[in-house]
Amino acid sequence: MTAHLRNLQGNAACALGAIAAGCRFYAGYPITPSSEIAEWMAAELPRVGGIFVQMEDEIASMAAVIGASLGGMKAMTATSGPGFSLKQENLGYAVMAEVPCVIVDVMRGGPSTGMPTRPSQADVMQARWGTHGDHPSLVLAPHSVAEIYSETIRAFGLAERLRTPVVLLYDETLGHLIETIATEPPPPEALLERKWAEGPRREYRPYAAGEDLVPAMARPGDGHRAHTTGLTHDETGFPTQDPERVARLLDRLLGKLEHHRALIEKVDRVETEDAELLIVAIGIAARAAKAAVGALRRQGVKAGLFRPVTLWPFPEEGFRSAVATAKTVLVPEMNAGQLVLEIERLAPAGVTVHRLGRYDGEPIAPEEIVAAARELVR
């Protein structure tokens, strides 16, 4: 298929990206500012033989998505902060049972009902630590409509290939932003797919993984008759409390994403090679930061931008190389300071880390970043 130039809203690009990635199931519950994704999916999915269902709440939506994925379909749901909180329990189930799925969180102001129509980036940590227990998280943070489209496709590939839930995290501004993008569905052979169990049942152990730490999944009806549970299980898929087996499962689950960092990590760098002031930002704040870098460079400040497109697991190596020449790091984010915690953790000794935050429902403007940066390099 040829590239197709279209004016699309971020949320629409997300829906079309999902369909391009082969998503054929959507379950959701309406919530501003994500509802357009559901509306697009409701219209688009039947055209490709897919299923859309509006469930009774976000808990049910998440459950239905996992159920559909267990049945073999690529599946997704979308929501915003309050609904994302409700999805957390079953998101943990998807981590534990290793069920591929994509969850979109279009962030709005919080806490609680907060400001439904105003942007925010306050779910950075909810996306990392929202569900209980030790668990890895795979979170992608696009910053443009085009990237929402391509990252949604990438989210499905990672989810399927690594048998894990993947969160796509962007804010209200991006969700409702309209940009001209080329919607070019990738050729099928370019998509990362799930590994299905093959071979005889008696040789199949549902959670036995090879070197890549990703077990092959049993498709119901293929004769494997596997058991899937959220209880801590061993390689047979049945519950265990044997300390050695428990540790082995968690080691593998936590190690799985580490093992595939090369596949998972994606960063964007702007003029970081000689940057003395490194700005770290995601999403809409990163767009402001990009403009700020240009302005600062024109003013003679050696500024650069490091943008983790893969937010979690945080691209540590990418950050370390970007920060190599920096003396100061500035983290502009639309919250009370979440991403900055990770940067403080990773910043080399001698590098000072500052944050620029706002949580009043207004995006951060380039001028604010420039002003803050000038303050720091003075």
By CB under 8 A, name the binding residues for another protein: 24-25, 27, 43-44, 46-49, 51, 53, 55-57, 59-61, 63-73, 75, 89-90, 93, 218, 220-223, 225-231, 238-239
Give 178 or 231: the residue with its C-beta nearer to another protein. Answer: 231
Give 228 or 328: the residue with its C-beta nearer to another protein. Answer: 228
Closest distance between another protein and the C-beta of residue 27, in Å? 6
Closest distance between another protein and the C-beta of residue 53, in Å? 6
Give 25 or 170: the residue with its C-beta nearer to another protein. Answer: 25
Closest distance between another protein and the C-beta of residue 43, in Å? 7
| Amino acid of residue 346 | L
In degrees and rounded to multiples of 5, residue 355 shows phi and psi of: -120, 155
In degrees and rounded to multiples of 5, residue 318 shows phi and psi of: -60, -45
Both tokens of 272, joined, read: 């970081």
Closest distance between another protein and the C-beta of residue 223, in Å? 5
Strand 115-119, strand 101-109: pairing:
antiparallel
The residues, ordered by sequence, that sit 6+ positions from 275 with a Cβ below 8 Å of its Cβ are 302, 303, 304, 322, 325, 326
DSSP 88-106: HHHHHHHHHHT--EEEEEE
Closest distance between another protein and the C-beta of residue 208, in Å? 16
Question: Which of 251, 336, 286, 255 lies closest to 173 in space, CA to CA?
Answer: 286
Question: Which of 362, 371, 376, 311 lies closest to 341 in space, CA to CA?
Answer: 311
Give 93 or 149: the residue with its C-beta nearer to another protein. Answer: 93
Give 74 or 143: the residue with its C-beta nearer to another protein. Answer: 74
Give 27 or 301: the residue with its C-beta nearer to another protein. Answer: 27
23: left (phi over 0), alpha (psi -120 to 50) or beta: beta
Closest distance between another protein and the C-beta of residue 51, in Å? 5
